[in-house]
Amino acid sequence: MINDTLQNRKTVIAIIMSAVIAVYILRLFSIQIIESRYKEGADSNAFLKKTQFPPRGLLYDRNHTLLVYNKPAYDIALIMREVRNLDTIAFCKALNIDKQYFINRIEDIKNRKKNSGYSSYTPQLFMTQLNIEDIATMQQSMYKYPGFYIQNRTLREYACPNAAHVLGSIGEVSRSKMEADDYYKQGDYAGRDGIEKTYEDQLRGEKGVEILLRDAKGRIKGKYENGKEDIAPKAGQNLTLTLDAQLQVLGEKLLRGKIGSVVAIEPSTGEILAMVSNPTFNPTILVGRQRSKNYMQLVNDPTKPLMNRATQAQYSPGSSFKPLQALVCQQMGGITDRSMFSCNGPLSSPVKCTHHHGSPVSLLSAIEQSCNPYFWNAFRSTIEKDGYGEKNEIFRNNYDDWVDRIKSFGLGEKFTDSDIYEQSRGYIPTQKYYNKVYKAVTGWRALTIRSNSIGQGEVLATPLQMANTMAAIANEGYYITPHLLKCDSMLKKKHLCKVDKKYFLIVFEGLWRVFESGTARSSRIEGLEMCGKTGTVQNNHGKDHAFFVGFAPRVNPKIAIAVVVENAGFGSTFAAPIFSLLVEQYIKGKIERTELEKTTTNMVTNSNVQER
């Protein structure tokens, strides 16, 4: 009995000792393997690991002109546990900051809610994006500030102050960005918009690490293992864009003093040659330590310079919609190239014409003279060719068919397979929408939505979409997704429009006549056949918007353009000359009509728009 009791006690003691040993082993495992702060502490006693930031990839235009490059910049970093006996006043003076800034910054670094990766053992960023002038004094006296050191970085620099909306900018990463991608740490920078954001992964490169060896007193003694364990940073990928820098500069020049946009596309490839939005800004103001201040000024500017009107502004396309209407109505059998309709000018009803041009009107003349009654009758003949009414399924099918064919030209949806940052979708109203608005199927018909026939009413499009539509027409029935990176693989993104090729010939002829004897004859270029369409778009908030869309040359088109000038009135007065000058620059390589260039540049529609 006594032996049994002793045996039980031995077993219990053995179990207890085993448990204690297991606890110690688990704790040691946790300290050495799982809990990084102990490892960080041990490592920091022997090493200083300095992040080596890679140079960001360069950006070039289609002609290999450098657009965006890098310039040296510097960060001030610190390891908190090594900061001791700091002369705060002298430190602040060397960096040209006040003491309260220093106090606030140290508090922010230690605040784990703001800086989730904080550790007193690892490097933390104190100040970023300093230039050589900012740290000149500091460099000479770094030995006085133990725990602090200078870290090399780069900032973006711009060869010219243009294309801000296209190129985008760089900004400090958010917490959500760091949580989504462990590449980023507190104080890192990444693309915030434009090309910089879309191609962030290619442009950013890969960070490197320099490992420095410390002595027993924490002093740097040189490279660990002579640098054998260092990881060299890998530069970001250089990118060639589709932009033509000269065309972009000219477009921005011609839009000075105006609110509007220009989009130019190479029809055969979908490459964007120019994308202009005005008001704009100099991209250099969003670089460096003044970024936040300058950004807020742009945000609060009532002219909205941060908005890319080329891709985000939505307008009723007005008469620039008529070539597309002509194609779809022919395809659906509502009209033929010989269809004639009467026009009584401003006395026409229910859709008025803006001027007298003779009657009856053919399709060719309707495009040339921009006849509203013709396109109203063509629209009605198309969707009501089999009648209309509550039980008329064919009428509703006809309208759905019309919507589908219009949208096949790239309207009413974003280009989801494109690299263009921030797009609006535009709008092509559906049957479902009208059933809801008018409460019943019998509540609407062609007459109810007649404004759609001339590109007004509920129809909305962005300048990008209208330029792409003209590219599709120039290609006689297809478009390549519009894009900004020079990349042959984009040629596979070919979209077929739902209109047969045979219907394009008469539309080409009509668009050519617009320059030869129609509304844009004053903007024609001698010896160069161009096709285009003016538009004067009603605006409920002020003066009409001026539109012009077109392509050139007529045979084998090289460029398709959409121009929008807000609150400018007639498209032939403000938008057509801009189109014509851009075509001249791109096709001929220079502007010969210098007087027209000067006159167009000096035209002002909004005195509040200042050149930045």
Lowest model confidence (mean pLDDT) among 29-33, 130-134, 203-207: 29-33
Per the model's pLDDT, the better-predicted residue between 565 and 23 turns out to be 565
Is residue 35 pLDDT above 70, yes or no?
Answer: no
Q: What is the pLDDT of residue 591?
A: 94
Residue 39 counted as domain residue: no
* Residue-wise pLDDT tens digits, 76-102: 988 888 888 899 999 999 888 899 999
Q: What is the pLDDT of residue 612?
A: 47
* Of 142, 124, 111, 112, nearest in space to 81 by CA: 124
For 423: left if phi > 0, alpha if psi spans -120 to 50, otherwise beta; the answer is beta
In the chain, pLDDT over 90 holds for what percent of residues? 57
Among candidate residues 218, 240, 262, the one where a domain is terminated: 240
Q: Which residues, 6 or more positions from 152, have their beta carbon under 8 angstroms from its beta carbon?
A: 52, 53, 72, 73, 74, 75
What tokens were used for 481?
């997704």
Is residue 42 pLDDT above 80, yes or no?
Answer: no
The verdict on 19 and 141 lying in the same domain is no
Alpha-helical runs (H) found in 129-182? 132-140, 164-167, 175-180
Q: Which of 82-91, 158-167, 517-526 has the highest mean pLDDT?
A: 158-167
Residue 26 counted as domain residue: yes
Residue 311 is inside which H or E element, if any?
helix 309-312
The verdict on 219 and 272 lying in the same domain is no
Residue 41 counted as domain residue: no
Task: Count how many domains the chain has.
Answer: 3
Q: DSSP label at 32? A: I
Is the alpha carbon torsion for 94, 96, 99, 104 positive or negative?
A: negative
Pairing of strands 361-362, 340-341: antiparallel
Q: Which of 5-9, 47-51, 127-131, 292-296 has the highest mean pLDDT?
A: 292-296
Q: How far apart (Å, rounded) are the C-alpha atoms in residues 245 and 612?
A: 18
* Residue-wise pLDDT tens digits, 317-354: 999 999 999 999 999 999 999 999 999 888 888 988 88
For 194: left if phi > 0, alpha if psi spans -120 to 50, otherwise beta; the answer is left
The verdict on 186 and 281 lying in the same domain is no
* Of 228, 274, 273, nearest in space to 253 by CA: 274
Residue 537 is inside which H or E element, if any?
strand 531-537
Q: How far apart (Å, rounded) are the C-alpha atoms in residues 353 and 519?
A: 14
Q: How far apart (Å, rounded) are the C-alpha atoms in residues 577 and 343?
A: 29
The verdict on 435 and 517 lying in the same domain is yes
Q: How far apart (Å, rounded) are the C-alpha atoms in residues 366 and 362?
A: 6
CATH number for the domain including 160?
Answer: 3.90.1310.10
What 3-state DSSP class applies to 210? strand
The verdict on 119 and 6 lying in the same domain is no
Q: Which residues, 6 or more positions from 421, have their beta carbon under 8 angstroms from its beta carbon?
A: 168, 193, 194, 195, 197, 198, 311
Residue 302 counted as domain residue: no
The predicted model gives 353-373 an average pLDDT of 89
578 neighbors 550 (Cβ within 8 angstroms): no
The verdict on 421 and 484 lying in the same domain is yes
What tokens were used for 79?
């390891």
Q: Which residues, 6 or more positions from 161, have their beta carbon under 8 angstroms from its beta carbon?
A: 282, 283, 284
In the chain, pLDDT over 70 holds for what percent of residues? 91
Question: How high does pLDDT run on average in the chain?
Answer: 88
* Residue-wise pLDDT tens digits, 163-192: 999 999 998 888 888 888 989 888 888 999
Among candidate residues 224, 240, 256, the one where a domain is terminated: 240
* Residue-wise pLDDT tens digits, 212-270: 776 665 566 667 777 777 888 999 999 999 999 999 999 999 999 999 999 999 999 99
CATH number for the domain including 397?
Answer: 3.40.710.10
Residue 77 counted as domain residue: yes
The verdict on 256 and 235 lying in the same domain is no
Q: DSSP label at 492? A: G
Structural domain including 11 reads 2-34
The model's pTM is 0.87
The verdict on 253 and 234 lying in the same domain is no
The verdict on 195 and 268 lying in the same domain is no
**335 burial via Cβ count (<10 Å: 0-12, 13-18, 19+):** buried
Residue 608 counted as domain residue: no
Q: How far apart (Å, rounded) are the C-alpha atoms in residues 147 and 145?
A: 6
What tokens were used for 12?
């219990």
The verdict on 64 and 91 lying in the same domain is yes
What tokens were used for 440?
């019943």
